[in-house]
């Protein structure tokens, strides 16, 4: 049993890829270990979205590299977006890296590992030449941007998604939640972003594959599924156009933005994002929560909102990043919408779903961003009831249009000041959004037990009901001053974090992976707290 350590950086796509890679390796007889020191194969699944993300990975690579130079027999692999972006340059600059695999080629990873293992053992016996680059690296280059038919026929990556192991995961703390990819890649080419290069063209998975995967996850005990796509609302599958050799529908390259602008004229049957959501909700009644990220603030039709309105188990959560509140900056970013189109979309969504919770992302210090542009961003943050925003300082990324054409002319001190200012504004907005929940009752899905010493823990003595069943009163009670405080923490349907106090770790653990109603009694900008309801 060869021990493998896999560390993941970056977004949920990477987390899912790591899970699939682990599944493949375990099926081949490898064991996954939790500590890097226990492993003989070390893999870093990397992110390239900002320079800081890459630096984190480089420092880890450096540490393992030093161990190898000191004589330890290890295999070091870099997989994911950084491998794709850096390409073979990474081998030149970091000769301790044994193998490299881009996110579009992960189905080939076991083969690469095998190549390296065989060669290393032969080299130890003194009878092997170093491996050719092609045998220790798998990068998509621009292969994934070929024609629809070719890409569909060659979609080996679909087999990776289909190979998913449905047994409970060994490493995850949240076995009750799972990600399911619906779209790979991205065709939007926002000028600052590496994702269209590292992940390749937008490819939609056949709806039958997605529904089947969701069903099997629910059968295996998953209660919450998050559908993943870089622009998840652009999901659009045209049936009958791409078929595999064995007659099944194949993944298919996205049709481009024009498909959303003009009414579709052909007779082809299309599964839209709205139809996909409806299908999953309808066909899998045992699924308690269905959610999706990330929404592109364009082409988010009323049909999607109507499905949400009519489907109680779809979460009231919309992550729709605006990136900037200035039309001029949005144009330079190639985002394809104006601020008023964005606010129209949010207002329309809140009009149809008043309990919708909204989150976003903003980039500050994009090239040429003036005080006035930044003010417009602040105005947008004050205008929209965001529950939270991820705020990033612009990071120039080689290979992107912004890097090639626009000077990174906002000084770092200004970026930092804008970042802090926007964060402070957002904290105030978050405080209001969370405060509004006080007095309400919300369904919470519990994820995590937290134990902390609390000198001022308050006494609570709620009567409990869990999904309609009386819950033994003794499991929750009061905590005395100076005692350990045990909390069970979960999320509302709108993704607001909510904590309740429990009597013991055991009683808190009992709630993990379950939903229960909580009466909200207090709020901070980041956290709701309350007690389980009586009924
Ligand atoms: N597909 C998603 C975002 C994926 S990347 C969308 O379009 O909304 C996640 C976030 O990283 C982006 O929303 C953006 O805010 C940020 N980001 C991407 N490239 C960046 C860069 N070069 N510098 C700083 N932040 C960046
Ligand atoms: Fe990047 Fe834009 Fe695609 Fe999001 S939509 S992944 S920001 S190119
Ligand atoms: Fe990073 Fe790649 Fe995700 S660049 S954000 S890991 S798609």
CA 356 to centroid of ligand 1, rounded, Å? 23
CA 392 to centroid of ligand 1, rounded, Å? 8
Which of 48, 145, 181, 190 most suits a substitution to test ligand 2, by most atoms within 8 Å of the C-beta?
190
Confidence of residue 162 (pLDDT cuts 50, 70, 90): confident
Q: Does the CB atom of residue 50 touch ligand 1 within 6 A?
A: yes
Q: Does the CB atom of residue 13 touch ligand 3 within 6 A?
A: yes
Q: Does the CB atom of residue 75 touch ligand 3 within 6 A?
A: no
Confidence of residue 387 (pLDDT cuts 50, 70, 90): very high
Instruction: Tell me the pairing of strands 528-532 and 515-523.
Output: antiparallel
Confidence of residue 476 (pLDDT cuts 50, 70, 90): very low
Listing DSSP states for 53-68 in one string gives HHHHHHHHHHHHHHHH
pLDDT at 123: 82
Contact between 326 and 410 (Cβ < 8 Å): no
Nearest-angstrom CA–CA distance, 340 and 362: 16
- Using CB atoms within 10 Å of the CB of residue 413, give its burial: 0 to 12 exposed, 13 to 18 middle, 19+ buried: exposed
Contact between 167 and 309 (Cβ < 8 Å): no
**Is residue 137 scored above 60 in pLDDT?**
yes
CA 155 to centroid of ligand 1, rounded, Å? 26
CA 316 to centroid of ligand 2, rounded, Å? 23
Average pLDDT over residues 101-119: 93
State both tokens at 521.
Answer: 């009694």
Q: Does the CB atom of residue 384 touch ligand 3 within 6 A?
A: no
Element (H, E) at 22: helix 12-27
pLDDT at 240: 82
- Model confidence pLDDT, tens digit, residues 174-189: 789 999 999 999 999 9
What is the crossing angle of helices 273-283 and 207-219, to 10°?
A: 30
Which of 11, 201, 228 most suits a substitution to test ligand 3, by most atoms within 8 Å of the C-beta?
11
Long-range own/partner contacts, residues 532-535 (CB < 8 A, 24 or more apart): 532/462, 532/464, 532/465, 532/466, 532/471, 532/476, 532/500, 533/441, 533/462, 533/465, 534/462, 534/463, 534/464, 534/465, 535/465
CA 13 to centroid of ligand 3, rounded, Å? 7
Higher pLDDT, residue 243 or 428: 428
Q: Considering every ligand atom, which ligand is closest to the CA of 198? A: 3
Which residue owns the Cα nearest ligand 3 atom 1?
Answer: 47
Q: Is the pTM of this model over 0.85?
A: yes
- Model confidence pLDDT, tens digit, residues 70-91: 999 999 999 999 999 988 888 9
Least confident interval from 31-40, 104-113, 252-261, 437-446: 252-261
pLDDT at 468: 37
Which residue owns the Cα nearest ligand 1 atom 5?
Answer: 49
CA 49 to centroid of ligand 1, rounded, Å? 7
Nearest-angstrom CA–CA distance, 36 and 6: 8
- Measured from the Cα of 323, ligand 1's closest atom is 15
Which of 233, 294, 363 most suits a substitution to test ligand 1, by most atoms within 8 Å of the C-beta?
363
pLDDT at 478: 46
Nearest-angstrom CA–CA distance, 345 and 457: 43
3-state secondary structure of 444: strand
Q: Does the CB atom of residue 49 touch ligand 1 within 6 A?
A: yes
Confidence of residue 253 (pLDDT cuts 50, 70, 90): confident
Least confident interval from 118-127, 275-284, 290-299, 382-391: 118-127
Which of 50, 103, 193 most suits a substitution to test ligand 2, by most atoms within 8 Å of the C-beta?
193
pLDDT at 260: 62
Higher pLDDT, residue 167 or 406: 406
**Is residue 471 scored above 60 in pLDDT?**
no
**Is residue 417 scored above 70 in pLDDT?**
yes
Q: Average pLDDT, whole number, for the chain?
A: 89
Domains along the sequence of the chain with CATH? 3-142 (3.40.50.12160), 168-315 (3.30.750.210), 320-436 (3.30.750.200), 441-532 (no CATH)
Is the previous residue joined to 36 through a cis bond, with omega within 30 degrees of 0?
Answer: no
What is the crossing angle of helices 371-383 and 339-352, to 10°?
A: 10
- Measured from the Cα of 81, ligand 3's closest atom is 2
Q: Which sign, positive or negative, has the C-alpha torsion 147, 148, 149, 155?
A: positive
Pocket lining for ligand 2, CB < 6 angstroms: 186, 188-190, 193, 195-196, 230-231, 296
State both tokens at 375.
Answer: 């003010």
- Measured from the Cα of 186, ligand 2's closest atom is 3
């Amino acid at each position: 049993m060869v021990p493998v350590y896999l560390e993941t950086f970056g977004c949920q796509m990477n987390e899912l890829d790591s899970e699939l890679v682990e599944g493949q390796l375990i099926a081949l007889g490898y064991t996954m270990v939790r500590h890097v020191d226990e492993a003989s194969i070390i893999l870093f699944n990397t992110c390239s979205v900002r320079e800081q993300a890459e630096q984190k990975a480089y420092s880890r690579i450096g540490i393992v590299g030093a161990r190898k130079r000191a004589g330890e027999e290890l295999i070091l692999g870099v997989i994911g977006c950084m491998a794709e972006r850096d390409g073979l340059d990474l081998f030149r600059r970091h000769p301790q890296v044994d193998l490299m695999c881009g996110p579009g080629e992960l189905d080939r990873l076991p083969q690469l590992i095998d190549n390296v293992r065989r060669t290393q053992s032969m080299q130890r016996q003194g009878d092997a030449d170093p491996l050719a680059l092609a045998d220790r690296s798998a990068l998509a280059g621009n292969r994934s941007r070929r024609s629809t038919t070719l890409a569909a026929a060659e979609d080996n990556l679909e087999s990776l998604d289909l190979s998913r192991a449905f047994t409970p995961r060994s490493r995850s703390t949240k076995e009750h939640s799972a990600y399911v990819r619906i779209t790979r890649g991205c065709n939007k080419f926002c000028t600052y972003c590496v994702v269209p290069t590292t992940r390749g063209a937008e490819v939609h998975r056949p709806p039958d594959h997605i529904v089947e995967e969701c069903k099997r996850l629910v059968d295996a005990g998953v209660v919450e599924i998050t559908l993943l796509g870089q622009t998840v609302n652009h999901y659009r599958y045209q049936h009958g156009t791409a078929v595999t050799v064995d007659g099944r529908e194949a993944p298919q390259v996205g049709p481009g933005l024009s498909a959303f602008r003009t009414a579709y004229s052909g007779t082809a049957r299309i599964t839209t994002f709205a139809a996909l959501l409806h299908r999953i909700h309808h066909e899998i009644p045992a699924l308690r929560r269905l959610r999706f990220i990330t929404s592109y603030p364009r082409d988010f039709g009323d049909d999607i909102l109507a499905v949400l309105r009519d489907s109680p188990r779809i979460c009231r959560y919309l992550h729709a990043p605006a990136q900037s509140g200035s039309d001029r900056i949005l144009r330079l970013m190639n985002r394809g919408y104006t601020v008023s189109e964005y606010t129209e979309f949010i207002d329309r969504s809140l009009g149809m779903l008043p309990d919708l919770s909204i989150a976003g992302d903003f980039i500050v210090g994009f090239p040429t961003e003036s005080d006035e542009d930044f003010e417009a961003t602040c105005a947008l943050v004050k205008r929209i009831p965001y529950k939270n925003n991820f705020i990033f300082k612009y990071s120039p990324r080689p290979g992107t249009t912004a890097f090639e054409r626009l000077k990174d002319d906002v000084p770092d001190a200004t970026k930092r000041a804008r970042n802090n200012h926007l964060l402070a504004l957002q904290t105030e907005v978050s405080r209001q959004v969370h405060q509004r929940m006080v007095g309400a009752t919300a369904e919470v899905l519990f994820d995590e037990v937290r134990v902390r010493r609390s000198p001022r823990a308050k006494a609570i003595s709620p009567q409990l009901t869990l999904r309609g069943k009386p819950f033994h009163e003794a499991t929750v009670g009061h905590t005395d001053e100076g005692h350990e405080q045990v909390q069970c923490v979960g999320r509302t349907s709108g993704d607001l974090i909510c904590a309740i106090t429990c009597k013991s770790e055991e009683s808190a653990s009992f709630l993990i992976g379950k939903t229960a109603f909580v009466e909200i009694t207090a709020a901070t900008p980041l956290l709701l707290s309350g007690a389980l309801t009586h009924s």
